[in-house]
């Protein structure tokens, strides 16, 4: 499916058949509503119990694919999900618990310093250090959005870091695997092999994941307002995602 092919509302996906599926889920804007600060997203008993049931029904074929750090994923999901692709795919923990992550890029220190200097302009600008990347959040300071994007782009050019655009966030990453790459890696290993992949996400950072599952014979589910996307289906919000997951059998 072409990225430019759809800008209208997508149909909702049919209930997921657990015996046939491999499921990949984003967190922010998908499993949890956006919060003013990344640390404000907290564990939720309903979500945790649902993910535990899904993981059991899928026989381990459930992975969280997110821009958050691995520690943050384990905090929010209470350590219930083993398979995780964190920091937009740079850090991956497999079904066997083995951790795969790159050496941090040498340009990260300079990037952090530059973003911190920019952040002193407004208390709503947050610099989040994520090991292999550093993120500049400006959801609470939207008047600085244009300037933040310029600073991030210039810093990426100066340091050689990869610039990851997001919803009111710009992230400078160690070059390496993407969300789509991590989904492909999971699908080549047990217990994911031989099943139909589905990826649920909301942001432009999820597009290479949508493209990956489409290429592997599966489908993407876009959460939120319609836009150009590789996803085949759509859900309106986090509550719709939870309801769809609860209907899986």
Positions annotated as catalytic residues are 26
Relative to beta strand 126-129, strand 219-223 is unpaired
Angle at 178 between CA 4 and CA 219, to 5 degrees: 50
Q: How many angstroms separate the CA atoms of 83 and 211, rounded?
A: 20
Distance, CA of 163 to CA of 105 (rounded, Å): 13
- Give CA–CA dist 28/48, Å, rounded: 15
Question: Where does the chain show beta strands of DSSP type E?
Answer: 21-25, 62-65, 84-86, 91-93, 99-100, 126-129, 133-137, 162-166, 169-173, 196-201, 219-223, 233-235
Helices (H), 85-170: 108-119, 145-159
Residue 42 burial class via C-beta count within 10 angstroms: exposed 0-12, middle 13-18, buried 19 and up: exposed
């Amino acid at each position: 499916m072409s990225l430019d092919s759809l800008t209208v509302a997508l149909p909702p996906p049919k209930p997921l058949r657990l015996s046939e599926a491999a499921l990949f889920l984003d967190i922010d804007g998908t499993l949890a509503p956006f919060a003013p600060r990344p640390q404000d997203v907290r564990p939720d008993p309903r979500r945790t119990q649902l993910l535990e049931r899904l993981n059991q029904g899928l026989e381990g074929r459930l992975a969280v694919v997110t821009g958050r750090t691995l520690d943050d994923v384990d905090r929010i999901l209470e350590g219930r999900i083993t398979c995780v692709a964190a920091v937009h795919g740079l850090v991956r923990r497999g079904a066997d618990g083995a951790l795969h992550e790159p050496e941090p890029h040498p340009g990260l220190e300079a990037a952090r310093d530059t973003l911190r200097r920019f952040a002193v302009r407004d208390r709503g600008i947050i610099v989040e250090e994520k090991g292999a990347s550093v993120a500049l959040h400006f959801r609470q300071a939207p008047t600085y959005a244009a300037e933040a994007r310029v600073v991030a782009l210039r810093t990426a050019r100066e340091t050689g870091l990869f610039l990851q655009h997001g919803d009111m966030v710009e992230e400078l990453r160690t070059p390496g695997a993407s969300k789509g790459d991590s989904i492909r890696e999971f699908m080549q290993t047990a217990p994911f092999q031989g099943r139909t992949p589905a990826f649920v996400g909301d942001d432009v950072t999820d597009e290479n994941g949508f493209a990956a599952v489409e290429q592997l014979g599966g489908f993407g589910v876009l959460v939120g307002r319609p836009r150009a996307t590789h996803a085949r289906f759509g859900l309106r919000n986090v509550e719709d995602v939870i309801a769809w997951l609860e209907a899986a059998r």
